[in-house]
Amino acid sequence: MSDSKKPLIEIKDLVKRFGNFTALNGVSLDVYPGEVHALLGDNGAGKSTLIKVLAGVHPATSGSIIIDGKEGKFSTPRQATDAGIGTVYQDLALNALTSVTRNFFLGREIKKGPGAFGLMQMKEMNRITIEEMAKIGINISNPEQPVGTMSGGQRQTLAIARAIYFGAKILILDEPTSALGQKQQMEVLKTIKDVQKLGHIAIILITHNEIHARLIADRYTFLSLGEVIGSGLAEELGGDDIKRLMAGGAEIGDLRDELGA
């Protein structure tokens, strides 16, 4: 990642209020192509609200989201998707009983013939599913297998590959390793590295896991109570800085005292 490049997404002074409650209070950050930007903070920091504003679930109260130099105003998730924002939520929105291919296309099936009566082109869809998953490191031998037979790590990869194939330039990953065992967590981190190697996608990684952030993030932004309390390049931040900022700016020593340790 080089700073001579322009950011793919610039978030400027984003504010989101729900009635009298301010969930985001002037959040700014930018993410470059080929960069993994970790967004860290405790529960209630504003991470979920920020994702939902970027994904078009909640309209922003004020501030701007600029994608590739153009301002985006999203009042629906479809508008955010069309602008190139792909969000992979924790619950993945996959149907465990249907095939890998059907989940990959999910409402955007390739058909021949008129309208709803067109014949689904399963062969072509299977080929695309296998190719797109292979691009980010997962080899599927049988795209007809039910998604329920895949590991948690493979399901994450499927959701990521789907978002990229359907035009995501900015990939938002919401706690992608949180519900997984250690081996599957490493699978997902490897997938994220493979996406990064494609070079043209900006990745926003939301995580509670400081170790995972340190393994793969190029830059960090820390939120606390809806505000940015710190940010920096990975090489500028030591382990203690990260711990302190993840704890909402409280000193680690103070937290130890609080625990009576």
Ordered by where they begin, the domains of the chain are 9-94+168-259 (3.40.50.300)
Average the pLDDT over 180-203 and give the result: 91
pTM: 0.86
> Is the pLDDT reported for residue 39 higher than 60?
yes
What confidence category does residue 235 fall into, taking pLDDT thresholds of 50, 70 and 90?
confident
Number of Cβ atoms within 10 Å of the Cβ of 244: 21
Q: Which residue has the higher pLDDT, 86 or 207?
A: 86
Share of the chain above pLDDT 70, in %: 87
CA dist 183 → 133, 141, 179 (Å):
19, 20, 12
Provide the token pair at 57. 């679930």
> Is the pLDDT reported for residue 52 higher than 90?
yes
- 191 CB-near residues (< 8 Å, 6+ apart): 136, 137, 138, 153, 156, 157, 160
Radius of gyration of the chain (CA): 19
Residue type (1 letter), 237: L
Average the pLDDT over 30-56 and give the result: 93
Average the pLDDT over 16-41 and give the result: 95
Provide the token pair at 88. 């992979």
pLDDT value of residue 179: 81
pLDDT value of residue 182: 87
Provide the token pair at 236. 């500028």
> Is the pLDDT reported for residue 63 higher than 50?
yes
Note the Cα 133 to chain centre separation in Å. Answer: 17
Nearest 5 degrees, angle CA 74-CA 75-CA 80?
A: 40
Number of Cβ atoms within 10 Å of the Cβ of 75: 12
Minimum mean pLDDT range among 6-15, 40-49, 116-125, 189-198: 116-125
First to last CA, the chain: 41
Q: What is the pLDDT of residues 119-178, one digit of tens each?
A: 778 899 999 999 999 998 888 889 999 999 998 889 999 999 999 999 999 999 999 988
16 contacts 61 by C-beta, under 8 angstroms: yes
> Is the pLDDT reported for residue 252 higher than 90?
no
Minimum mean pLDDT range among 9-13, 29-33, 202-206, 235-239: 235-239
Average the pLDDT over 58-76 and give the result: 92
> Is the pLDDT reported for residue 3 higher than 70?
no
Number of Cβ atoms within 10 Å of the Cβ of 210: 17
Distance (Å, whole) CA 11 – CA 184: 32
Distance (Å, whole) CA 47 – CA 165: 25
pLDDT value of residue 108: 84
> Is the pLDDT reported for residue 1 higher than 80?
no
pLDDT value of residue 200: 94
> Is the pLDDT reported for residue 41 higher than 90?
no
What confidence category does residue 23 fall into, taking pLDDT thresholds of 50, 70 and 90?
very high
**Nearest to 89, CA basis, from 51, 133, 137:** 51
pLDDT value of residue 165: 94
